Structure formats: C-alpha cells, structure tokens
Amino acid sequence: MRYRTLGTDPATRREVSVLALGAMLFGSYTDERTSYGILDRYAEAGGTFLDTSNNYSFWHDGSQGGQSERLLGRWLRSRGVADRMVIATKLGARPKSPGASFTDNPEGLSAKTIREAVDRSREQLGIDKIDLLYTHIEDRTVELAETVEALGSAVREGAVGLLGTSNHATWRIERARTLAKAAGLPGYEVLQYQHSYLRPRFDVPFPPLFPDGSLGHVGPDLASYLRAEPDLTLVAYSPLLGRAYVREDKPAPDDYDHPGTPARLAALREIATETGASANQVVLSWQLGHTLPLIPLAGASSVAQLNENLGALALELTADQRARLDAAH
C-alpha cells in the first residue's frame, strides 16, 4: 500500500492510503459478514481510508440511513483498529423523516443540524472525532457563513478533524473557503466528486439538486480549481461506474452516452489487453498516476472485487500507455 497526506495543518492533517474504500452499501445491501470480510481484507492490505455518510443507505428500507455508520462502528470496536483508520463521513443529505427523499426533504446545513449530525455520527461510529467531515450537498436556504462557522466550531471543539465538501458548485467552494479564511476558521481541504476515465456530459439536469446540470462530476472549472489550490485533494467517487467497465450487461450511466465514449472504451480495452490487467485496474492505475491530486474511492461488494481493486496498486502504466489513454476522445 502507498500513502499520501490530506490537509496542511499539522494539528489535523492525516496520512491515508492512496485507495479509499467506500462503505455505502455495508449493513444494507451488503450483509454484515460480507462487509466484515471486505473491511478485514482492506485493513490487512494496509488500507486506512474508509468513507461513509450519515444517510447511507436510506433508500434500502425507507429509513433515514445510518446503517453504514453503525456497521463501521461495530467493526471498528470488534477489531480494535479505530486508531489506525481514517474515517470520513458526510452530513446534509439525510432525509428529515423516514421514507422521504433527500432531494426534497434533506436535513440541510444549518448550525443546529451540523451540531446534531456530528454528535449522531460520532455515536454511531463509536469514535470521539470524525477524521474528515464532508458537507454532502448544497443548502442554499442557509447563509453560507452560518455553515462555515458551525463547521469551524466542530473542528475547534475537537469533534472533527478535516473538512471537505461534495456536489457543490465551484464558486460555492471558493466562497466558503474565503469566508473561513477571513474568520480565521478551518476551511474545506478535501473535495469528493465523481471522476472516472470516461468523460461525462455536464448538461444533464438532476432536479431539484442540479437543475442547470450536474455539480457532482469533476468538470473543467473544478479541475482548474484543484490545480490552482495545492492544499486541496480530490477524492474521486464511483471511479469504476458501478463495474460498467467489466460487465457487458451493465452499461455506463446515461450521462456517459455521447460520441466520445466509444473511443475512450476502445483505448481502455487496448491497454487492458497489453497489460493483462482488468479494465477496472487500468482505470484505477490511471487515476493513481493522474496529474490532479487524486485518491480513488472505490466500493466493493465482495472480497474478490476488493482484491481486483487492490491489484491496481501494482500496475504501472507506461508513459506511452498513459498518453494514449489521455488522447482518446
């Protein structure tokens, strides 16, 4: 396993494995025994970076979520490894009531909600401090300064270490960071967005969250912002597009259905054949060597899938192979 550092402040920065493990389906779609097996294998391989959210997976049973956090808490206690793991969770998109949708009834990002959500997540995870806390989605009903101040207070009080965000417009990230800096508060240092080898369309609306087009993908604005701000790190979720790269029966999502996709897929399969690796491993290796400061965040529903992902760590693409992958369009 290889490692990199998140954050710049010596008091809060953390060293994490270069491959993060997504726990979204643990405790719901992925049963406890299987989840424990995956987590044990990840820890055995030197993995230290676990990702969840306070609303995972509310859609499984019409609840408000929390299954993933609770399972991780049980696993951390049973294995005694809480001090070795860096736990990231999210708040803001938990439905306010069971059976509701986060798109029309999310908890939001008020100061009161942040305080309550942080305490609930710490209790469910069985930890005193959340190593990395993300604001999951935007909340434009609350003044940004209120959110920034509440997040800063959580860090100052020792309940949270690093701060991150996802699914926010780039201008909102910059405004929040500017407000935090002006107030002498910690700001966002980690951005979690969807990023994969295939390039998505950005004009596909997802009302009411993204009526103008997706804010969840890494687009040109966000990529440029990441290159300009060396203290930021990108955590790239859904890098394997739900295994669409390796399953003929599972096409990529609709926002990847455009004329540029076939050429990218052809280049990917060509490199996979040359290297003897799976297409998933080529994608992850391509990300691990990306010019953006990037950590792939990949889930797994079996130990075999996790082992495939871990195999990407040993795959070194040549400069020519990487250039061919990058040039396909």
- For the chain, the three-class secondary structure string (H helix, E strand, C coil) is CCEEEECCCCCCCEEEECCEEECCCECCCECHHHHHHHHHHHHHCCCCEEECCCCCCHHHHCCCCCHHHHHHHHHHHHHCCCCCCEEEEEECCCECCCCCCCCCCECCCCHHHHHHHHHHHHHHHCCCCEEEEEECCCCCCCCHHHHHHHHHHHHHCCCEEEEEEECCCHHHHHHHHHHHHHCCCCCEEEEEEECCCCCCCCCCCECCCECCCCCCECCHHHHHHHHHCCCCEEEEECCCHHHCCCCCCCCCCHHHCCCCHHHHHHHHHHHHHHHCCCHHHHHHHHHHCCCCCEEEEEECCCHHHHHHHHHHHHCCCCHHHHHHHHHCC
Which pLDDT does position 74 carry in this prediction?
98
The answer to whether residue 277 is domain-embedded is: no
**Model pLDDT for residues 64-109, shown as the tens digit of each residue:** 999 999 999 999 999 999 999 999 999 999 999 998 888 889 999 9
Which pLDDT does position 190 carry in this prediction?
98
The answer to whether residue 99 is domain-embedded is: yes
- Host domain of residue 65: 3-256+290-317
The answer to whether residue 278 is domain-embedded is: no
In the chain, how many domains are there?
1
The answer to whether residue 296 is domain-embedded is: yes
Which pLDDT does position 206 carry in this prediction?
80
The answer to whether residue 63 is domain-embedded is: yes
The answer to whether residue 285 is domain-embedded is: no
Which pLDDT does position 113 carry in this prediction?
98
Which pLDDT does position 211 carry in this prediction?
85
**CATH code for the domain in which residue 159 is found:** 3.20.20.100
The answer to whether residue 11 is domain-embedded is: yes
The answer to whether residue 283 is domain-embedded is: no
Given a cut of 70, the residues of the chain with pLDDT beneath it are none
Which pLDDT does position 214 carry in this prediction?
85
